[in-house]
Amino acid sequence: MLSITCYGGVGEIGGNKILLEDGNTHLFFDFGFPFKKRARYFEEFLNPRPGAGLLDLLETGLLPPIEGILRSDLTSKTLWDKFAGSPLRRELTLDGVLLSHAHVDHSGYISFLRDDIPIFTTITTAFISKAMQDSAPPNFEREVCYSLPKGSKRGYLRSAGTYKPRPFAFMDCPALSEEAQDFWYSSPRKKKPLSTETYLCAPEKIGNLKLKCFPVDHSIPGAAAFAVETSSGWVGYTGDLRFHGKYGYQTEQFIEEMNKLHPYILFCEGTRLKEKRGASEEEAFNNCLNGVKQANDLVIADFGARNVERLVSFYNIARETGRNLVIMGKDAFLLDAMHLTSEKIPSIDEFTDILIYKDFKSRLSHWEAEIHRHYGDKIITASQIRENIDNIILCLSYWDALDLVDISPKGGTYIYSSSEVFDEEGAMDMRRLANWIDHFGMQGIGLPREDLNWDIPENEKGYHSSGHACGADLLDLIRRINPKVLIPIHTEDPGFFVDNLRGTDIEVRPPVEGEMMTFPPV
């Protein structure tokens, strides 16, 4: 019998952890970082203790107490004894995780799964995840592609041994090129590569269940939806998607193919249910172009690091306005990794006018030193930006604000082309960003404002194109796929689907976190 249990993404945006069990096959749709839930207990200077293993995460409910799927080097028998009375406590084996895309609210807590559990995803999602991990400081909450095993010393867990890669199954990849293999096996420690034989190409099943993967349009390359054939019929999972990007046709194709399967169950995201259909990528391009044309000094473009469509848009804007586009080293590293997976993602060598900013650092990490070595003629310093400040579009974000101290602009335009504010933590970040913009006398465009309850002024909307479909588009998607059962996930308002699908043949079943739902076989 088919059973489904949602351990995350219930009444929240992100943190998806959806367990599907059918016969001897057990799998998760995503295993994400639960930002909102985590913020109830932790913040910048109060974090889960790596030396305590999974104790803090299990205590606060950020991870379900399921023995057999979580890393043994981060647990112990005494730890499991502590949670023996939990109603969610159980034992389980796992055939894999279907990872929809590389945003950490869907991928981050793969870090805590056993390192022999395979991750089924697109090659682009896998390579983005690895590039993000390679270029970030060590963080035991972000060990998605490889983990650093821990060993106990006087009751405290410390690093022990070398990095251990997770097995990945690339859903859309018949074979890896030699250059792609070199990247996939490379270790952040340089001296010793990760072990080989860590991937499988184009699998057709997970466990005993037939599997399908569909590319969809989202704000990050490599996003996918999934379908699994169970004893009750096909079960579909949208992941995160939209219609208004360059690859909106992929979402349309997913709807057509999913409808042909006559699915019994569809999991559907609901991030932007009550919003109107927002700006398309083309509209965002035109608005940002006009903003740059009106600027007389430095222009800063703030957008998601993995949003390649937006990067290409600002590159074209730079060329049209006679400016150079400057990106950060970590973005160059990420772009190189993504290019290995698809010819649709341009290489830095194809961007003739692109430059790479040289951060103020006493020592470069291995990956960044390689970027500087390979693109030596494209490296630009803060003083060189100052000398050509009215000919530059600088791509940075709130997290790079300290680089403004070195550049020291006196005025300029800050174009915020990134996601909206979802929570109080995001609101605090936006307050700080506004302070930096004011400190350097810059004009901010498209920023969410506190006096508007973190909305964007009407005359400044359209500089960003959301990665999510609006409510009307999602209802159209659901009706066209026509499942028997709709399970809303990744939303704060599951009642929206109940209200708007009432009177149809589609049963809406909002999940309860940790509560198993069962479905009869066909």
Asked whether residue 45 is assigned to any structural domain, the reply reads no
Give the amino acid at 287. Answer: N
Same domain, 322 and 440: yes
Specify the CATH number for the domain of residue 237: 3.60.15.10
Task: Count structural domains, the chain.
Answer: 2
Asked whether residue 321 is assigned to any structural domain, the reply reads yes
Asked whether residue 39 is assigned to any structural domain, the reply reads no
Q: Is there a contact between 347 and 168 (Cβ–Cβ < 8 Å)?
A: no
Asked whether residue 385 is assigned to any structural domain, the reply reads yes
Structure tokens at 161: 């041994």
Same domain, 360 and 231: no
Give the separation between CA 317 and CA 314, rounded to whole angstroms: 5
Domain enclosing residue 184, as ranges = 2-34+94-135+167-274+468-519
Specify the CATH number for the domain of residue 360: 3.40.50.10710
Same domain, 363 and 387: yes
Same domain, 339 and 217: no
444, 460, 476: which is the final residue of a domain?
Answer: 460
Q: Which residues pair with 213 in a beta bridge?
A: 226
460, 480, 501: which is the final residue of a domain?
Answer: 460
Q: Is there a contact between 132 and 40 (Cβ–Cβ < 8 Å)?
A: no
Tell which residue, 198, 258, 269, has the closest CA to residue 10: 269
316 burial (CB, 10 Å; 0-12 / 13-18 / 19+) is: middle
Same domain, 328 and 401: yes
Asked whether residue 301 is assigned to any structural domain, the reply reads yes
Same domain, 443 and 481: no
Placement of tokens 């390359």 in the chain:
221
For 4, list phi and psi in degrees, rounded to 5: -135, 135
pTM over 0.85: yes
460, 484, 511: which is the final residue of a domain?
Answer: 460
Asked whether residue 55 is assigned to any structural domain, the reply reads no
Same domain, 413 and 492: no
Same domain, 290 and 261: no
The pLDDT profile of the chain, 522 residues, written as one tens digit per residue, is 999 999 999 999 999 999 999 999 999 999 999 999 999 999 888 999 999 999 999 999 999 999 999 999 999 888 999 998 899 999 999 999 999 999 999 999 999 999 999 999 999 999 999 999 999 988 999 999 999 899 888 778 888 878 889 999 999 998 889 999 999 999 877 666 787 667 888 999 999 999 999 999 999 999 999 999 999 999 999 999 999 999 999 999 999 999 999 999 999 999 999 888 889 999 999 999 999 999 999 999 999 878 888 999 999 999 999 999 999 999 999 999 999 998 888 889 888 889 999 988 878 888 999 999 999 999 999 999 999 999 999 999 999 999 999 999 999 999 999 987 777 777 888 999 999 999 999 999 999 998 888 888 988 889 999 999 999 999 999 999 999 999 999 999 999 999 999 999 999 999 999 999 999 998
Same domain, 171 and 207: yes
Same domain, 396 and 441: yes
Same domain, 481 and 377: no
Asked whether residue 87 is assigned to any structural domain, the reply reads no
Contacting residues for 315 by C-beta, under 8 A, at least 6 apart: 325, 351, 353, 354
Q: Is there a contact between 135 and 86 (Cβ–Cβ < 8 Å)?
A: no
Q: Which residues pair with 215 in a beta bridge?
A: 224
Same domain, 355 and 434: yes
Asked whether residue 177 is assigned to any structural domain, the reply reads yes
